């Protein structure tokens, strides 16, 4: 029997606990998720380093899973657009049972190996694509079908599972075993197994975005301002990074369609928004590199005299 399916010997009278005790026990059990992910930090780092050149070459992040695992994959990919301006077409979530399975449990969808392979094949994967395959059991047929199709296409495959030495971990190019053990409520892998998957996916995708220069210092400077809250955030991020006042930052942000990276470089280097964009392009979007580089002493690159910024 898989570890995640084995009944726990702890709290066998869970259904009799007072509410305060019940909630405390459920929360405390989640600490195992953090420890499980921390134990494979080196494997996650290996996955990031293997994925980076492929993504830099134009590859896509493709997530494949079923049930809770699949939904966590979809969630991770969807959040990359507003957080890091990562295009939706380069973060694709495949879920057993299709889009409707995001909201309704589709019984039996996870057992379809052929559909997993077909869903991957439909995307026409290439060698630069990175496919993350997520299954608590490590044996889910849909995910294994997707895995074999992705490997056959030459894509990088990264498997995440909560049971050691399972087919997913043994067959993926990089297997990340999140050994969370048995669940407090037997077999309910939406508990700490799911938490560990969420932490691992967050860690992988965030580290990858940092390596892609989507972060300056610890500021998310490639944020996509898709709502009022994020629009305000672009202003506060620019103020924090440059030390300039709100009025100045907002004016420069308006010139560059609220692209924080461009605003920071323009303000810090005292150059035009256009020149800042060119400088960032030359340095592959790396704000730090753009700020530290030499720039030509060309008058057209600077703000007009009436736009000069105070020190």
- Residue 108's SS3 state is coil
pLDDT at 36: 98
DSSP 132-143: EEE-SSS--HHH
pLDDT at 295: 66
Domain spanning 35-211: CATH superfamily = Glucose-6-phosphate isomerase like protein; domain 1 (3.40.50.10490)
Residue 183 known to be catalytic: no
DSSP 200-253: HHHHHHHHHHHHTT--BTTB-TT----SHHHHHHHHHHHHHHH---HHHHHHHH
> Residues 16-45, buried b or exposed e (16+ Cβ, 10 A)?
eeeeeeeeeebeebeebbeebbeebeebbe
Residue 254 known to be catalytic: no
Identified catalytic residue from 5, 110, 255, 307 = 110
pLDDT at 296: 58
pTM of the model: 0.92
Q: Give pLDDT < 50 ranges for the chain.
A: 298-306, 308, 310-311
Instruction: Report DSSP state, residue 95.
Output: E
Encoded tokens for 277: 């964009």
CA dihedral in degrees (106, 108, 109, 112; nearest 10)?
A: -170
pLDDT at 72: 98
Q: Are 285 and 213 in contact (CB under 8 A)?
A: yes
Structural domain boundaries in the chain: 35-211, 228-307
Element counts in the chain: helices (H) and strands (E): 14, 5
Question: Was domain 228-307 assigned CATH 1.10.8.1080?
Answer: yes
Q: Are 157 and 172 in contact (CB under 8 A)?
A: yes
Interhelix angle 41-56/31-38, nearest 10 degrees: 60
Q: Measuring CA to CA, which residue among 162, 201, 200 is closest to residue 181?
A: 162
pLDDT at 294: 79
Identified catalytic residue from 79, 107, 183, 292 = 79
Q: Residue 199, CB half-sphere, CA atoms under 13 Å: how many?
A: 23
Strands of 130-134's sheet, edge to edge?
91-95, 61-65, 130-134, 156-161, 174-177
- Residue 131's SS3 state is strand
Decide if 35-211 and 228-307 have a common fold: no
pLDDT at 105: 86
């Amino acid at each position: 029997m898989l570890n995640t399916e084995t009944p726990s010997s702890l709290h066998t009278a869970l259904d009799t606990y007072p509410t305060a005790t019940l909630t405390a026990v459920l929360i405390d059990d989640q600490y195992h998720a953090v420890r499980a992910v921390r134990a494979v930090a080196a494997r996650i780092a290996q996955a990031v380093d293997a994925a980076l050149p492929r993504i830099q070459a134009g590859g896509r992040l493709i997530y494949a899973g079923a049930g809770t695992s699949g939904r966590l994959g979809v969630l991770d990919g969807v959040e990359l657009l507003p957080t890091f301006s990562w295009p939706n077409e380069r973060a694709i979530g495949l879920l057993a049972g299709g889009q409707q399975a995001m909201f309704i449990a589709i019984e039996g969808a996870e057992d379809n190996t052929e559909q997993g392979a077909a869903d991957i094949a439909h995307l026409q994967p290439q060698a630069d694509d990175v496919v993350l395959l997520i299954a608590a059991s490590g044996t889910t047929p849909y995910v294994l079908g997707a895995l074999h199709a992705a490997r056959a296409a030459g894509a990088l495959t990264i498997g995440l599972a909560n049971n050691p030495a399972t087919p997913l971990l043994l067959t993926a190019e990089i297997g990340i075993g999140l050994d969370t053990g048995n669940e407090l409520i037997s077999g309910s892998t939406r508990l700490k197994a799911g938490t560990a998957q969420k932490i691992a996916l967050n860690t992988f995708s965030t580290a990858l975005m940092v390596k892609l220069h989507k972060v300056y210092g610890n500021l998310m400077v490639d944020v996509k301002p898709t709502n009022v809250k994020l629009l305000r955030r672009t202003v506060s991020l620019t103020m924090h990074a440059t030390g300039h006042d709100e009025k100045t930052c907002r004016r420069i942000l308006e010139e560059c369609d609220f692209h924080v990276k461009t605003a920071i470089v323009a303000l810090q280097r005292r150059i035009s928004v256009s020149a800042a964009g060119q400088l960032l392009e030359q340095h592959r979007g790396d704000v730090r590199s753009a700020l530290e580089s030499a720039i030509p002493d060309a008058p057209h690159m600077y703000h007009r005299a009436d736009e000069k910024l105070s020190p």
